[in-house]
């Protein structure tokens, strides 16, 4: 092998080792970083009431194409049943969807914000599952919180949210 080929191979080895070391050091791949970017864009577009930015995060702009479901915590549900005896844990409400969330934030006079912690991402680079703890704030006041999970797909336009499920805990909830 010539010195030039050996030098090229050594450079390639060092470059790939550095890239692997970076992923090992941060624990995050390029795709995971892109997904974290979507989570952050979701947060900031809601806070800024930027509907165009928010809507660009979803696989489709049609509410019927995106799964969106909440589940009430038991103690919260007991409280709701005092005034709505037919309430159930996971009711499908057509107006409760991703478009309704941004429209209500845009229409609200006070600030709206959703904060995220304990973000966990599992991906093979083409599909992803994202979970985190969230807190929803209206005018700085904690309104509800829980666990949220997204299913995502990587498209030619980047990572898109395909479905969202989340629990709702509030002032009447345990924990």
Parse the chain into domains and list their residue ranges: 30-168
Q: What percent of the chain has pLDDT above 70?
A: 83
Q: What number is the average pLDDT over the span 6-26?
A: 44
C-alpha span between 30 and 15 (Å, rounded): 16
Q: pLDDT band for position 141 (50/70/90)?
A: very high
The per-residue pLDDT for 3 is: 52
Instruction: Report pLDDT for 45.
Output: 97
Name the pTM for this structure: 0.81
- With residues binned 3-state (H G I as helix, E B as strand, rest as coil), the percentages for the chain, rounded to 5, are 40, 35, 25
Q: Are 128 and 122 in contact (CB under 8 A)?
A: yes
- Name residue, tokens 């309104």: 143
Query: Helix or strand or coil: residue 58?
Result: strand
- CB count, 10 Å around CB of 13? 10
pLDDT higher at 109 or 175? 109
According to CATH, the topology of domain 30-168 is Nuclear Transport Factor 2; Chain: A, (3.10.450)
| pLDDT range class, residue 173, cuts 50, 70, 90 | confident
The beta strands (E) that lie in the chain are given as: 67-72, 112-123, 127-138, 141-155, 158-168
Closest CA to 61 of 108, 93, 97, 96: 97
| Residues 6 or more apart whose Cβ sits within 8 Å of residue 95 | none
Share of the chain above pLDDT 90, in %: 79
d(CA 26, CA 22): 6
């Amino acid at each position: 092998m010539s010195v030039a080929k050996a030098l090229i191979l050594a450079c390639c080895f060092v470059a790939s080792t550095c890239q692997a070391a970076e992923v090992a050091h941060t624990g995050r791949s390029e795709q995971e970083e892109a997904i974290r970017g979507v989570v952050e864009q979701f947060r900031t577009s809601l806070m800024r009431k930027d509907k165009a930015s928010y809507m660009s995060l979803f696989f489709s702009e049609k509410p019927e194409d995106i799964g969106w479901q909440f589940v009430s915590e038991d103690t919260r549900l007991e409280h709701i049943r005092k005034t709505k005896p037919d309430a159930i844990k996971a009711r499908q409400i057509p107006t409760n969807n991703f478009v309704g969330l941004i429209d209500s934030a845009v229409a609200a006079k006070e600030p709206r914000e959703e904060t995220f912690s304990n973000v966990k991402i599992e991906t093979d680079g083409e599909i992803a599952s994202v979970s985190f703890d969230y807190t929803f704030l209206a005018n700085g006041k904690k309104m509800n919180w829980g666990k949220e999970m997204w299913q995502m797909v990587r498209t030619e336009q980047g990572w898109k949210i395909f479905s969202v499920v989340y629990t709702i805990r509030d002032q009447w909830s345990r924990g």
